Structure 1
């Protein structure tokens, strides 16, 4: 038996171990490098049949279907989906922008509308304030004309009558101060209101001092000193005029203008017509000398003359007694009438006793009692027209009768709320 030589490299036909081996196991290439990583082989789930060692190319239809065709369809769907999603997002953003713009526009309109309403309300309050001040100033000017007209020419007034008129003027000025303090003052007018209040505090204080010293100034004892004090208070009245005309009215006018409100220019306030005259003691002496003594209408009958009212019970409205110490409430919607009961406190019958009522220092409403017997009472009924509203100050006064020397009980003041 013959054996082939296993070490003979030329004997491949006989060497069963030489089949399929390369000559150089370390030759370059994927099949010859023992250290090269073998490619991963993925088995085809549907293997092609063996056609004798040759693998035909895949059919064209299968290549198109499995390769670029399928990829195109998937890619087409992806691009179409991305385009549609982007368009929807863009439309959503546009809608949001439109809604935001519309909301912002509405907000701006609401802000400007609210501001316009607030500005209009503010301007109305400024105009109402200016109109109220104008009314008070005009009435003050009228009072000053009456007061200094009486000083210049007392006519036939007796000492008692003259002092009674001065007391009435003082009450009127107190009423003006009360009205000023009760003004509904807008915030922008606070400085002007402070100035206006000071003006009327000066005027009311001066008129109080003048009225308190008038009886002494018209008498004998202490007359010179009282007249000098009256002249000094005239300087206070003059200073109040200057303060109003130089400061207060311009503050009001400037505030009206700066806010765009519409109101007439504030009037000049001239309570004292001729300061150079009335601050002089000589002028005061000349004026008061005209009312010194008594006049011919003073009765010379040896009787006592005088009237008075009881502040706690003499004045009623609709049966409700007014109190000088507390606020009395009267129902609104009625036609209020003030009933004033006057007592004859002398020993002589008095005729034509005049009773007057003022509301917040306004024009006096008067009524006369034809006759009151000695020791008796009489009542004057005075309708308040127009009917007041809200809280007001009522000043009730009984004019002095001829021969009456004490008038301190002839006046009373009440706070009434017509609510």
Structure 2
């Protein structure tokens, strides 16, 4: 039976049309995929740049904290260092201003610039406050002035978290962009450092002064526990303790603020009895809140005496105004083994 004339060309035409439709559909999917990939790259590249800027700013915060906690630093040296931090922070703000964010993140980017600018201003004002109080006699007023500038830095952390980080996450979700992390950036890791009392303590330490009278109220510190690392064994004061003396030997000491007030510069000392010279290490807890427990870890202990009974003693220096000191220290019988 003969095929009707013209039927085969019709089939060919229908096949061609179907092929063209399929090609158009595939092309649309490819274009959408490319657009989605390009969109993801745009946001990801932007956040990578913000991560570097935010990380550098947070590093300045850590350097500031170290400078404020340093012992023996001169006021003029501290002032110069903080001015340097301010100049660096301003450069980071200028760098952020030169960048073009994705369109949907313009508002959030403006807030990021606001954060960096506020940090630069806060650091500059803090340096000026130290200069202003260099010859002051009133520690309380000096601490209050310094704390006011520190609170600007704390405010910058809040703005970053709320107006940049959280807001940017919401924008990414609205845009359907996934697997892009929005960075954190913290200038003041412990906001308690921005209190007038904390900054008064900093001012006193820098100027070599101490309080003229014992503070009123319930003040106290207490030794909570001592744990040998990496064994993870908590030492007991009532019996003999066997501790593995590896190259990673360390002791973790937990200290509690047992009073009703925030305390500063709490010194903790670890002593391992050894002939002819004992091993002595000290660390300082910069700030601890009422009822809070903080830990310090003593490392780089060298070679303790092996295989013979010895003692490990931990002392927590009483804070000003502390009346009960029976819980500030403990002595442990220890034998260090090679495992």
| TM-score between the two structures when normalised by the length of structure 2 | 0.52
User: Deviations for 1:378-403, whole angstroms, at most 9, x for unmatched residues?
Assistant: xxxxxxxxxxxxxxxxxxxxxxxxxx
Structure 2's unaligned 5+ residue stretches are 209-339
- Equivalence for 1:289: 204
- Equivalence for 1:346: none
- Equivalence for 2:297: none
User: Deviations for 1:76-101, whole angstroms, at most 9, x for unmatched residues?
Assistant: xxxxxxxx9x943x655544443333
1:144 Cα deviation from its structure 2 partner = 0.9
1:164 Cα deviation from its structure 2 partner = 0.8
1:201 Cα deviation from its structure 2 partner = 2.3
C-alpha distance 221-289 of structure 1, shift in aligned 2 (>3 A):
closer
- Spell out the pairing of 1:240-389 with structure 2 (5 A cutoff): 240-256=156-172, 259-263=176-180, 265-278=181-194, 280-292=195-207
Q: C-alpha separation between the residues in 2 aligned to 1:96 and 1:222? A: 96
C-alpha distance 259-271 of structure 1, shift in aligned 2 (>3 A):
same
- Equivalence for 1:140: 57
Give yes or no for contact 1:192–1:248 (8 Å, CA) kept in 2: yes
User: Deviations for 1:289-331, whole angstroms, at most 9, x for unmatched residues?
Assistant: 33338xxxxxxxxxxxxxxxxxxxxxxxxxxxxxxxxxxxxxx
1:128 Cα deviation from its structure 2 partner = 1.7
Give yes or no for contact 2:82–2:124 (8 Å, CA) kept in 1: no
Structure 1's unaligned 5+ residue stretches are 1-83, 294-419
- Equivalence for 1:165: 81
Aligned length: 206
Give yes or no for contact 1:206–1:234 (8 Å, CA) kept in 2: yes
Give yes or no for contact 2:122–2:152 (8 Å, CA) kept in 1: yes
Give yes or no for contact 1:206–1:233 (8 Å, CA) kept in 2: yes
Q: C-alpha separation between the residues in 1 aligned to 2:130 and 2:193? A: 18
Give yes or no for contact 1:256–1:262 (8 Å, CA) kept in 2: no
- Equivalence for 1:152: 69
Q: Does 1:236 align with 2:152?
A: yes
Match of 1:126 among 43, 47, 56: 43
Q: Does 1:218 align with 2:134?
A: yes
User: Deviations for 1:42-65, whole angstroms, at most 9, x for unmatched residues?
Assistant: xxxxxxxxxxxxxxxxxxxxxxxx
Residue 95 of structure 2: SS of its match in structure 1?
Answer: helix
Give yes or no for contact 1:134–1:266 (8 Å, CA) kept in 2: yes
Give yes or no for contact 2:93–2:116 (8 Å, CA) kept in 1: yes
Give yes or no for contact 2:143–2:198 (8 Å, CA) kept in 1: no
- Equivalence for 1:107: 24
1:184 Cα deviation from its structure 2 partner = 4.1
1:178 Cα deviation from its structure 2 partner = 2.1
Match of 1:198 among 114, 120, 123: 114
Give yes or no for contact 2:86–2:119 (8 Å, CA) kept in 1: no
Higher-strand-fraction structure: 2
1:135 Cα deviation from its structure 2 partner = 2.3
- Equivalence for 1:354: none
